[in-house]
A and B are shown apart, each in its own frame.
Chain A
Amino acid sequence: MVLTALVLIPLAASAAAFLLRANGLRRGLLLAASLAHAALTAASWITPPAPAFHGNLALDPLGQLFLTLISLVFLAAALYGVNYLGGEEAGPRQDFQGQGLFLNAPEARFTACLLLFLASMTLTVLAQNLALVWVGVEATTLASAPLIYFHRHSRSLEAAWKYLMVCSVGIALALIGNILLSAAQPGGASSMLLSELIRSAPAMRQPWLKAAFVFTLVGYGTKMGLAPMHTWLPDAHSEAPSMGSALFSGILLNCAFLGILRVYQVALSAGLASFCQELFLAFGLFSMGLAAVFIVGQGDYKRMLAYSSVEHMGLLVLGLGLGGGAVFGSMLHAVNHSLAKSMLFLLSGNILAVYHSKSTYDVRGVTRALPATGWLWLLGFLAITGTPPFGAFVSEFTILRQAFAAGRFGVAATALVFLALIFIGMSVSVLRMAQGTVPPDAQRRLRPEPALSLISPLVLGLAALALGLVIPETLRQLLQQATAALGS
């Protein structure tokens, strides 16, 4: 019941949002639907919900972890959206990158797609049937492509097209992975239910299973933003409206990550741990390295945040690749990254609204012009780069400690160099933005900062800080159960 409602509520709200005319009412609906989603998610922590549809929908520890992130970040974005969408009302507006005037997409369509996006992500994390996971991930692509094309100009259209094509091809590869997995079962496919697959995995034909894992990793890895399949990610994140970028980085990438984890669970049961871990290590380090290269000297702060997502996705799979304690670190890092990155993207929306520029050279004096946003921006930078006492420090430390404990000094040293480079690269841009004198045209647009645009980033930032100080016992248990499902 609860599980069905989790998918159906945003779905129904999406249809209603499409039909509602009044902007205020529709924003209220968005907030109400995300509150209802969050309430159901909170209830699922207290009483575990019963599986639905013959076990095709169920909530296991991994699903619970990612569902909670989805619910939390979406609620934060929806709350932020009330004010954000108020500033994006209809009418032609100037493209500040000098291509004349453009219109926004109708807000009803944007809100409807947002809610559809929530429904499809929820389906992805609740699905226990791997084919249904695939359907969910594909649906997230289709629901979110219109979000990128909210500001209707040529750049956002280009980003949306790239996103649609690159991710569709990626997801087609993941589909091949799915089919290979079903064909790997001895005596033909019997079921795509995760529990059945894990049970029958030891008897599966190994070459098929290996091929299935590679295809799934590359396929969902495209959507997750692992290099070198990440090409859509910086474009989509820089062109989408900021609340959309926050959802993309904060939770969509996690959904694709979960798709990989599901197949990894099957591969683990078949005894393919070392085969998979080597692949994880390679993709992880390559993603971090590529992100480091593009973050150093990056002149566009939304692209900088996007490349930072590539880095953190790399860290997540690196943790899996190292195994042992690093898997716990990886799960914890998924939480920390979601919190800090969605906070930063929401703040980037505040900055963009005043400065009308994405260049780190044009945006100066943020702490003076927008004190609350500016200081939160600095804190967010510390949180995302894993500076103590923020949560990301604990998770990155856990991952690297395992690297040293396992004697993989080369991996640890390389990862540390990349992390240091990224820290330096981001700090140059972020500090340049924070300091200096406010340019005159931004000065003219200054208004008191609306509280609604600050509450969400503040709460997300506080959560990222709190996780660095103490991990609540219930969360620790959940993380341990999730880690146990991944064989560590």
Chain B
Amino acid sequence: MRELLDPMAASVILANLLLLACSRLQVGVTLAAIQGILLSLAPLALPQAEPNLYLAAFCATALCVKGLIFPWMLSRTLQRVKARREMEPLLGYNLSVLAGIAGLVLAVWLRGQLGLADALALPATAAFMTGITGFLLVIIRRKAITQVIGYLVAENGIFLFGTLVSSHAELWVELSMLLDLFVAIFVMGIAIHNIGQEFASINTDRIESLKD
């Protein structure tokens, strides 16, 4: 499994760039899900991993939640609010990809700062870049649902970083975090549904009546 770690990390980085370039909401949801599936296998491929039933069950749970349940919940929300199918960027797609590449450079620099083991160099870079991409998506896309996709991608990055640096004795912690995340997506889905009904649009620039 170990030789699969670097290809996995490379695919995660590629998924980030595709996410920044893609214009269709459904494609964005799918990309985030594929990324989630790749990441949830990372614990098995780590150099320090000792494959056992507990670890396998953990990965299977993460895979189900990130690869099946989240995309299903988001797709359902998408259908229910009948949103237009585009991302409607605040920052153009080409510029977004450029920003993503800048994020990759930043990620390489950050990884250098922390002095991780060499075997983890590429996965750690991928983790940082995924986090940065997620936060970028929250900021530079206009729809409420793209903010949720961004949030999910950011969590993907944090999840990968967490599995790289923490020990397996603490897996229950990651599981409870997944549970929190699950509820978060659930609540956000309800909120988006309500926003769609109340404003007849899920563009966040329509919701700006509260200010000083």
| Residues of A close to B169: CB separation below 8 A | 190-191
Interface string of A159-203 (1 = CB under 8 A from B): 111101100110010011001001100001111100000000000
Whether B158 and A146, one on each chain, are in contact in the complex, defined by CB atoms closer than 8 angstroms, is no
CA distance A471 to B191 in the complex (A): 45
Proximity string of chain B (41-61) to chain A, C-beta cutoff 8 Å, 1 when within and 0 when not: 000000010000000000000
Residue in B165, B173, B180, B209 whose beta carbon sits within 8 Å of that of A155 in the complex: B209
Contact indicator B158/A132 (Cβ below 8 Å)? no
Residue A303 CB within 8 A of the other chain: yes
Q: In the complex the two chains form, is A142's CB within 8 Å of B167's CB?
A: no
Q: Is A252 an interface residue (CB 8 A)?
A: no
Assess the A135–B158 pair: CB atoms within 8 A: no
Q: Does A18 contact B (CB under 8 A)?
A: no
Asked if B14 CB lies within 8 Å of chain A CBs, one says no
A: residues with CB less than 8 A from B are 129, 131-132, 134-135, 138-139, 141-142, 145-146, 149, 152-155, 157-162, 164-165, 168-169, 172, 175-176, 179, 182-183, 188-192, 207-208, 211, 234-235, 238-239, 294, 298, 303
Q: Are A142 and B165 in contact (CB under 8 A)?
A: no
Q: Which residue in chain B gives the minimum CB-CB distance to A235?
A: B210
List residues 105-161 of chain B with CB under 8 A from any CB of chain A.
Answer: 113-114, 131, 134-135, 138, 144, 147, 151, 154-155, 158, 161
Q: Is the CB of A146 within 8 A of B187?
A: yes
Give A176 to B173 CA distance when docked, in angstroms. Answer: 14
Report whether A135 and B176 are in contact in the complex, using a CB–CB cutoff of 8 Å.
yes
Known: A155-B210, A157-B198. A138 touches B184 (CB 8 A): yes
B151 touching A139, Cβ below 8 Å: no
B168-185 vs A, CB cutoff 8 Å, 1 = contact: the mask equals 011001001101100110
User: Is B188 an interface position by the 8 A CB rule?
Assistant: yes
Q: How far is the CA of A183 from the CA of B198 in the complex (A)?
A: 45
Quick one: CB contact mask for B183-212 with A, threshold 8 Å, 1 for yes? 110011001001100110000100111101
Instruction: Establish whether residues A179 and B154, one from each chain, have CB atoms under 8 Å apart when the complex forms.
Output: no
Interface residues of B, Cβ cutoff 8 Å to A:
48, 113-114, 131, 134-135, 138, 144, 147, 151, 154-155, 158, 161-162, 165-167, 169-170, 173, 176-177, 179-180, 183-184, 187-188, 191, 194-195, 198-199, 204, 207-210, 212
B165 touching A179 by the CB < 8 A rule? Answer: yes
Cα distance A164–B207 when bound, in Å? 14
Query: Measured between alpha carbons, how far is A192 from B165 in the docked complex, in Å?
Result: 13
Q: Distance in Å from the Cβ of B74 to the closest Cβ of chain A?
A: 15
Is the Cβ of B191 less than 8 Å from the Cβ of A160?
Answer: yes
Q: Nearest chain-A residue to B167 (Cβ)?
A: A189
Partner of B167, one of A161, A176, A190: A190
Q: A146-B187, A157-B194, A192-B170 are in contact. List 10 more A-B contacts (CB 8 A).
A: A131-B177, A135-B179, A142-B184, A154-B207, A154-B209, A161-B144, A169-B138, A182-B165, A183-B165, A189-B165
Whole-angstrom distance between the Cβ of A195 and the nearest chain B Cβ: 16
Quick check: A169 and B173 within 8 Å, CB to CB? no
Closest 5 CB pairs of A and B: A183-B165, A131-B173, A158-B207, A235-B210, A138-B180
Query: Is B210 within 8 A of A165, CB to CB?
Result: no
Q: Are B158 and A161 in touch, CB under 8 angstroms?
A: no
Q: Are B147 and A165 in contact (CB under 8 A)?
A: yes
Evaluate contact between B151 and A165: CB separation under 8 angstroms: yes
Contact A175 B212 (CB under 8 A): no
Interchain CB contact under 8 A, B167 and A157 = no
Q: Are A161 and B165 also in contact (CB < 8 A) when A131-B173, A179-B158 are?
A: no
A157-B191, A172-B151, A172-B155 in contact; A188/B209 too (CB < 8 A)? no
B151, B166, B179, B199: the one contacting A183 at CB < 8 Å is: B166
Check if A234 sits within 8 Å of B114, measured CB to CB.
Answer: no
- Cα distance A211–B165 in the bound complex, in angstroms: 15
Give bound CA distance, A188 to B116, whole Å.
11
> Judging by beta carbons under 8 Å apart, are A158 and B209 in contact?
yes
Inter-subunit contact B195/A161 (CB<8 Å): yes
| CB pairs A–B below 8 angstroms (29 shown) | A131-B173, A131-B176, A132-B173, A135-B173, A139-B180, A142-B187, A149-B191, A154-B207, A157-B195, A158-B207, A158-B208, A158-B210, A160-B191, A164-B184, A164-B188, A168-B151, A168-B184, A169-B151, A172-B154, A172-B158, A175-B177, A183-B114, A188-B166, A189-B165, A189-B170, A190-B169, A234-B212, A238-B210, A239-B210
Interface-central residue, B134, B154, B212, by most chain A CB under 10 Å? B212
Chain A residues with Cβ under 8 A from B113's Cβ?
A: 207
CB of B173 within 8 A of CB of A145, answer no
How far is A298 from B211 in the complex, measured between Cα atoms in Å?
11
Question: A134 contacts which chain B residues (CB < 8 A)?
Answer: 177
Tell me the smallest distance from the CB of A286 to a CB of chain B, in Å: 17
Report the separation of the CA atoms of residues A239 and B154 in the bound assembly, to the nearest whole angstrom.
29
Query: B179 to chain A: which residues have CB within 8 Å?
Result: 135
Give the distance in Å from the alpha carbon of A162 to the alpha carbon of B208 in the complex.
10
CB distance from A78 to the nearest CB of B (A): 23
Instruction: Name which residue of chain B comes closest to A211, CB basis.
Output: B114
Chain A residue nearest to B131 in the complex (CB): A176
> Chain B's nearest CB lies how many Å from the CB of A27?
25
Please, how many angstroms separate the alpha-carbon atoms of A189 and B168 in the complex?
A: 9
Distance, CA A234 to CA B188, complexed state (A): 20
The CA of A141 and the CA of B180, in the complex, are separated in Å by 10
Complex: A162 Cα to B188 Cα, angstroms:
11
> Most chain-B Cβ atoms within 10 A of its Cβ — which of A146, A155, A160, A161?
A161
List, in ascending order, chain A residues with CB within 8 A of B154's CB: 169, 172
Which chain B residue has the least Cβ–Cβ distance from A299?
Answer: B212
User: Measured between C-beta atoms, what is the minimum distance from B205 to chain A in Å?
Assistant: 12
Min CB gap B196→A, angstroms: 10
A158 to B204, CA, bound (A): 9
Q: Are B114 and A208 in contact (CB under 8 A)?
A: yes
Q: Is A179 in contact with B161, judged by CB distance below 8 angstroms?
A: yes
Residues of A within 8 A of B177 (CB): 131, 134-135, 138, 175
Taking a contact as CB atoms under 8 Å apart, the answer to whether B166 and A179 are in contact is yes
Known: A172-B158, A207-B113. A303 touches B167 (CB 8 A): no
| B184 cross-chain contacts in A, Cβ below 8 A | 138, 141-142, 164, 168
> How many whole Å from A240's CB to the nearest CB in chain B?
12
Q: How far is the CB of A483 from chain B (nearest CB, A)?
A: 30
